[in-house]
Structure 1
Amino acid sequence: MDSVQLDQSAGIVSVGPGARWQKVYDALDPYQLSFQGGRNGKVGVAGFLLGGGIGFFSPERGWACDYVVNFEVVLSSGVIVNANSKSHPDLFAALKGGQNNFGVVTKLQLRTFPQPPLWGGVVIYSNSTDEELLDAVVDFKNPARFDPYAMFTFGFVYDATLRAFTANIAMYHARPSIVNGSALETFAKIQPQIFNSIRIDSPGSFAGEKISPVVKQYYMHWATNTIVVSRTALSRIQTLFRETSITLADSYLSANLTVAISIQSVPATAPSSNPNILGFAAGSEAEKRLLNIGLAIQYEDPAATAGLDIATKRLAAQIDQIAIEEGVYDAHLYMNYAGSWQNVLGGYGQESLVVLREVSSSTSGSMLGSEINDLMQSTLGWSSRPDGERA
């Protein structure tokens, strides 16, 4: 289930759903081929792709799921089907962002592309750089400076044990020869820096680099938001993050708490000829306008679980409120960063929900079942009864 087999002549790599991205990159790097996969080599292939997937090449190549050419799926009936652009095309689109709600994916075929080494790495800054870094984020998102080859994940981290804030960025440029003068160069020059691993290297090497503060055996709460880029909104969110982090640290002294917030560009939108279920209209240029916000609260003490769950939900709601007040709110939620309580499918929009309902019905009572029906009832006024009548 974790096999990786490359057909170099066809440019297709067949991957078992249990494989992790490091194994895929290790198979592709020697041929200077790559895929729009995860930036953390420890992340699993199937879950990442079924949730959409943001990768090294997202501004140029879009969502990772759009580079899947075939899903082999076992439906709830036990029937094995191949979902692709010609066979079961609606199921194919629904799987690209619909997670594992329509059956069990047993194999994925992925379209590769030529990719020489990248420019990139991780930089960690002191907390005196926050305002300069936020200016750089806004400058990066200036449509006049849009660079389809540049990608970053920027974040603030608070370590309650050390009582210290830091900022960090993982950034990559797919064309090292033109990185000078790009918006990423601005990030690379900001000082003071605590750590800098910028280099030219393979996607697999970057995927093996530790870019998050996640600790094994610790508990995690996740949440996500989406906003239109706004310097004012980002400043308010950063202030909220700092205030919330200190409050939580004071409230959970023995939890060994880490609070993190990440900011990255939303990927380019897929062409209408290669639809997914994520809800972005072709030509919407989300990659030039939108930012994904990710929240993560990590802690060691299980007694803190209930309280920090409430705190995560409150923080996500407060970020939404800031976005609404600033006129930059967007309903889309990135599934791979979302909390289990967040209405990701509803954020895809009504048209996507209709497709999901139809695919759920056609795959004979798939696992999506009541979730889709409940969403339809609340957002479209549809009945939750099996016959699908409108209420």
Structure 2
Amino acid sequence: MAYYSGFLVGIVVLCSNIHFTVSSVTCQQLSTSNITIEAYLSVNYDVDQFEYWSSACGSLLPGCILVPNTADEVSTIIKTLQSNGEDFAVKSGGHNPNQNFSSVAGGPLINLKGFNQVLYDSSSRTAKIGAGNRWSAVVKALQSYNVTVVGGRIGHVGVGGYLVGGGLSYLSTQHGWASDSIVEAEVVLANGSIVTASETTNVDLFNVLRGGGNNFGVVTTYTLKAYPLGQIWGGTMVFTSSASVDDQILLAVRDFVEYYPDEKAAIIVTKEITIASLVEIWLIFFFYDGPTPPAGTFDNFTNIGPLVNTCKTTTYYDFVSADDALVITGEVYMITTEATTLPNATVGLEVMRSYHDYYVDMAKNNSLVAGLTATMALQPIPKILAQKSKGNGGDLLDLDDAVDRIFFEFDYSFTSILSDTRMDATVKTLFTGIRERVQAFIANGTIPDAYLPLFMNDANYQQDYWGRLRPEKLTYAQEVRDKYDPEGFFRDRTGGFKL
């Protein structure tokens, strides 16, 4: 019910704007084509709108939803858009909560769900995967071959946006970012032409698709490296929050990153605060590529004493799809990220506490926001991940292995879109405050100075993704953009992190 009420509130807010319309010239122009069109407020249209992670995205009402099944049909849509000047959006899974990134008001929404193939080629050890898949479907299809690809940690996440945003995986310390495993991509360019990007064809385009977002074209199909995978071990441990437990967990994260025990091991450490009840808990997700982790791998955490422990030997599909239950639709979500170099053991608690306490204070400062839940995820980015990334082809993020890092993901969920303005300001204050703390620690020598880019998949629309990349990578991406989209079609006509 919450999702439907939030959706209807969004409709009321949008319709109160005299500039809002659900009429679409593109939809009308394509009405006689063979492309599947979900008409405004039809049953299929409503179902697709309800599938966004954030109901704020679902409340933006496209004039219609176009569901192409071939690259030729995507090309027809792009050429039609070129002729009429309408804004549009492209959606894979709709997990990104930034409005207008995969959602649009008035213009057409291109939903890639028709691109749902998963084809494994044992001779090349690659998998051809449609951009409209969700990762749970991909993992399930490949499991019978005892292989998998580097993909989402929650199966509900869509393939398309995740891959062009970089993609952090439970397998990243073995194989790098998910985008580093792209072998080939089928891309529809701004002029409607269909091209292949690979290490031998349109190499510059291939390079910028790895972390470049939606600036260069619509990717319809990816070919990814596949890796052997059998039974895995994993699950969730739940811990209470207290001053003592918080300190132990923060230090355990720090130590895990520096003394990374095994490249087959992975964790996501999350602190969740439900503001109305002031309940604070830790949920830690554990993964090991193998039926049982070697003794001692996760002892720094298990020795703290979890209240709940669901970790067990299982299949990768069951593990990834189990986390789908954590994706709760019907709320408004906002996301942001930051990065820090890893503090040494001497100052570790001081630094980690500073970040943690600021996040807690920011959450509690918004106690009047209805239904607010605040989550902080600590994501280890050890040196070995950067090494594997470079060894597997590299990407625009271009991490070096000079230091260990932690990437933060902060999420807010709340009940009503009417709290958007306040929470937008809160998100900006949060990422600005974390950044200021990181820079202050660097300035006084408490933590090492190093390159700290933003992770696109977790970034808020108010953050400067491109400005945080290495200057040479930014310049290269701009040059490639100007070559493949000289008129700025994707820059000007759809949302995302724009060059």
**Which TM-score band applies after superposition, normalised by the shorter structure?**
0.7 to 0.9
| Deviation, structure 1 residue 177 | 4.7
Q: Which string of whole-angstrom CA distances, capped at 9 and with x for unpartnered residues, describes residues 295-354 of structure 1? A: 111000222110011011101111111111111475310100100111112212111111
CA separation of 1:137/1:13 partners in 2, compared to 1, >3 Å: closer, same or farther?
Answer: same
1:316 aligns with 2:431: yes
Match of 2:167 among 27, 50, 53: 53
Residue in structure 2 matched with residue 263 of structure 1 by the alignment = 378
Residue in structure 2 matched with residue 384 of structure 1 by the alignment = none
Residue in structure 1 matched with residue 340 of structure 2 by the alignment = 227
Q: What TM-score do you get using the length of structure 1 for normalisation?
A: 0.88
Q: Which moved more, 1:343-352 or 1:360-369?
A: 360-369
Q: Which string of whole-angstrom CA distances, capped at 9 and with x for unpartnered residues, describes residues 50-102 of structure 1? A: 00000011112110101110010010111111000000111101000001110
| Deviation, structure 1 residue 217 | 1.6
Unaligned runs of 5+ in 2: 1-114
Aligned-residue RMSD, C-alpha: 2.1
Match of 1:350 among 467, 471, 475: 471
1:275 aligns with 2:391: no
Residue in structure 2 matched with residue 189 of structure 1 by the alignment = 303
Alpha-carbon separation, structure 1, partners of 2:126 and 2:360: 45
Alpha-carbon separation, structure 2, partners of 1:168 and 1:297: 16
Alpha-carbon separation, structure 2, partners of 1:163 and 1:134: 20
| Deviation, structure 1 residue 10 | 2.4
Mapping 1:1-391, distance limit 5 Å = 1-128=115-242, 129-143=245-259, 145-182=260-297, 184-191=298-305, 193-210=306-323, 214-230=327-343, 231=348, 232-249=350-367, 251-252=368-369, 255-266=370-381, 267-269=385-387, 270-271=389-390, 274-280=393-399, 284-285=400-401, 289-327=404-442, 328=447, 330-365=451-486, 366-367=488-489, 369=491
CA separation of 1:211/1:132 partners in 2, compared to 1, >3 Å: closer, same or farther?
Answer: farther
Q: Is the 8 A contact 2:137 2:155 kept in 1?
A: yes
Q: Is the 8 A contact 1:60 1:268 kept in 2?
A: no
Q: Is the 8 A contact 1:74 1:106 kept in 2?
A: yes
Q: Is the 8 A contact 2:155 2:324 kept in 1?
A: no
| Deviation, structure 1 residue 24 | 0.5
Paired residue secondary structure (2:365)? helix
Q: Which string of whole-angstrom CA distances, capped at 9 and with x for unpartnered residues, describes residues 130-184 of structure 1? A: 11111110110224x45212111101100123220001111112244553122x2
Alpha-carbon separation, structure 2, partners of 1:69 and 1:351: 23
Which amino acid in 2 is paired with 1:301?
A: S
Unaligned runs of 5+ in 1: 377-391
Paired residue secondary structure (1:354)? helix
Which amino acid in 2 is paired with 1:139?
A: D
Q: What TM-score do you get using the length of structure 2 for normalisation?
A: 0.69
CA separation of 1:46/1:59 partners in 2, compared to 1, >3 Å: closer, same or farther?
Answer: same
Alpha-carbon separation, structure 2, partners of 1:14 and 1:302: 38
Residue in structure 2 matched with residue 385 of structure 1 by the alignment = none
Paired residue secondary structure (2:268)? strand
Q: Is the 8 A contact 1:61 1:268 kept in 2?
A: no
Q: Which string of whole-angstrom CA distances, capped at 9 and with x for unpartnered residues, describes residues 177-223 of structure 1? A: 553122x23223321x2321101122211111227854212111111
Paired residue secondary structure (1:343)? coil
Q: Which moved more, 1:45-54 or 1:266-275?
A: 266-275
Paired residue secondary structure (1:154)? strand
CA separation of 1:375/1:32 partners in 2, compared to 1, >3 Å: closer, same or farther?
Answer: closer
Alpha-carbon separation, structure 2, partners of 1:367 and 1:164: 47
Alpha-carbon separation, structure 1, partners of 2:434 and 2:325: 22
Q: Is the 8 A contact 2:156 2:327 kept in 1?
A: no
Alpha-carbon separation, structure 2, partners of 1:322 and 1:58: 27
Show structure 1 runs of 4+ deviating over 6 A.
Answer: none
Which amino acid in 2 is paired with 1:357?
A: Q
Q: Is the 8 A contact 1:59 1:265 kept in 2?
A: no
Paired residue secondary structure (2:151)? coil
Which amino acid in 2 is paired with 1:315?
A: L
**How many residue pairs align between the two structures?**
364
Q: Is the 8 A contact 1:154 1:264 kept in 2?
A: yes
Paired residue secondary structure (1:357)? helix
Which amino acid in 2 is paired with 1:96?
A: R
Which amino acid in 2 is paired with 1:29?
A: Q
Which amino acid in 1 is paired with 2:319?
A: F
Paired residue secondary structure (1:209)? helix
Paired residue secondary structure (2:191)? coil
Alpha-carbon separation, structure 2, partners of 1:368 and 1:319: 31
CA separation of 1:6/1:95 partners in 2, compared to 1, >3 Å: closer, same or farther?
Answer: same
Alpha-carbon separation, structure 2, partners of 1:297 and 1:136: 25
Q: Which string of whole-angstrom CA distances, capped at 9 and with x for unpartnered residues, describes residues 198-255 of structure 1? A: 0112221111122785421211111100101122221111111222222211x32xx1
